[in-house]
């Protein structure tokens, strides 16, 4: 089969080794006679899968002992509701949540949080077309905010934080890392909560990972659904209700694969190399344009535009003919977008660069 390179922003490319292992284990997991999809989530077989996944993720991100790793159902949008419902119980609906608005996903988070509390947009890059992260000198933070919410990598707009944010006093920081989690080392202790949908850099859609500091658990609003209450999820090892078992299994295989690649630090070096290769091609002349300030360009999600946008369909058709798939930009911003997550090999990026040069030359 011709090499296919999938640049989808999510659900996204998975390591071929992981897919091959899942295929080999589909009908019979480790001699159990069962597929993982058929197992009881409380049986010893799946419990061992879950324990390994939790342990490997803790190792990969060096998660401190005073943080719980929660595997939950849903995605980033559902977590935008789960988080305020779990973080506001000690302050109530009159609390204020601070936000740094850097793109489409932080904007969605703001809209959802406004259903539960007051919202303060402490800084926004909207007027700049979401092409940068506002420097902390511009942030107008609330002294007693319930928490500060940041999206450290904007999947649609291609903007990535290049610094660790700080909040006022004891205000915890909540970070949406959906589209770049595990792509670079992160000091978990600098955050109160880190969360992400799995379908970009972890595994299949349907699983979310939340890494929550112990002291933030047990403060849910009274109307928070019991299955979304972090206290219930933590006390039951993510099995208060039936978890997305197959998604956790695939995520666990991805964690094992990452360890085999040398861990997150080694993966960061590869991601830097891939991103540099792609951005260099886009910057070679004015045929293509990336509008994000260079210091805030995402290593994972690379939006770009053709100078002559009447050529968009021809560009996409030619890319598809070469096995370069899912390059159309998000409908809200147009243009093109190449997502080059951990599982995208450098050969795929090189194939895209070769096509960029060919199409521009033609």
Active-site residue numbers? 105, 176, 200
Cα–Cα distance, 339 to 359 (Å, whole number): 19
Residue 242 gets which letter from DSSP? -
Token pair recorded at residue 41: 């989530």
C-alpha span between 5 and 124 (Å, rounded): 35
DSSP reduced 3-state for 118: strand
| Helices assigned H by DSSP within the chain | 16-24, 44-61, 76-87, 104-113, 230-235, 245-260, 263-283, 312-321, 346-361
Cβ-contact 57, 69 below 8 angstroms: yes
On whether the CB atoms of residues 133 and 159 are closer than 8 A, the answer is yes
Question: By C-alpha distance, which of 193, 203, 154 is closest to 301?
Answer: 154
Strands 67-74 and 206-213: antiparallel
Tokens of 279: 């951005």
């Amino acid at each position: 089969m011709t090499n296919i390179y999938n640049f989808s922003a999510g659900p996204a490319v998975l390591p071929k080794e992981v897919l091959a292992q899942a295929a080999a284990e589909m009908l019979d997991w480790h001699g159990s006679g069962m597929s993982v999809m058929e197992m009881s989530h409380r049986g010893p077989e799946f419990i061992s899968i879950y324990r390994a996944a939790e342990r490997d993720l803790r190792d990969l991100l060096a998660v401190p002992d005073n943080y719980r790793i929660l595997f939950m159902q849903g995605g980033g949008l559902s977590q935008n509701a789960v988080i305020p419902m779990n973080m506001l119980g000690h302050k109530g609906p009159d609390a204020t949540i601070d936000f740094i608005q850097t793109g489409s996903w932080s904007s969605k988070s703001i809209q959802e949080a406004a259903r539960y509390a007051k919202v303060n947009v402490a800084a926004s890059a909207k007027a700049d077309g979401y092409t940068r992260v506002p420097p902390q000198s511009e942030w107008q933070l609330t002294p007693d905010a319930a928490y500060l919410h940041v999206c450290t990598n904007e999947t649609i707009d291609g903007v990535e934080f290049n610094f660790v944010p700080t909040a006022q006093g004891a205000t915890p920081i909540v970070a949406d890392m959906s589209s770049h989690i595990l792509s670079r080392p992160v000091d978990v202790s600098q955050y109160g909560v880190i969360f992400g949908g799995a379908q970009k850099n972890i595994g299949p859609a349907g699983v979310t990972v939340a890494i929550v500091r112990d002291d933030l658990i047990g403060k849910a609003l009274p109307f928070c659904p019991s299955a979304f209450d972090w206290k219930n999820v933590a006390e039951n090892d993510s099995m208060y209700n039936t978890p997305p078992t197959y998604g956790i299994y695939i995520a666990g295989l991805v964690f094992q694969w990452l360890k085999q690649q040398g861990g997150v630090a080694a993966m960061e070096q590869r991601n830097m190399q891939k991103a540099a290769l792609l951005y260099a091609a886009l910057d070679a002349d004015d045929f293509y344009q990336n509008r994000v300030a260079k210091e805030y360009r995402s290593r994972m999600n690379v939006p770009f535009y053709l100078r002559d946008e009447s050529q968009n369909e021809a560009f996409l058709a030619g890319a598809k003919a070469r096995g370069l798939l899912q390059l159309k930009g998000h409908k809200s911003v147009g243009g093109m977008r190449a997502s080059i997550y951990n599982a995208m090999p450098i050969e795929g990026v090189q194939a895209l660069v070769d096509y960029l040069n060919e199409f521009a030359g033609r």
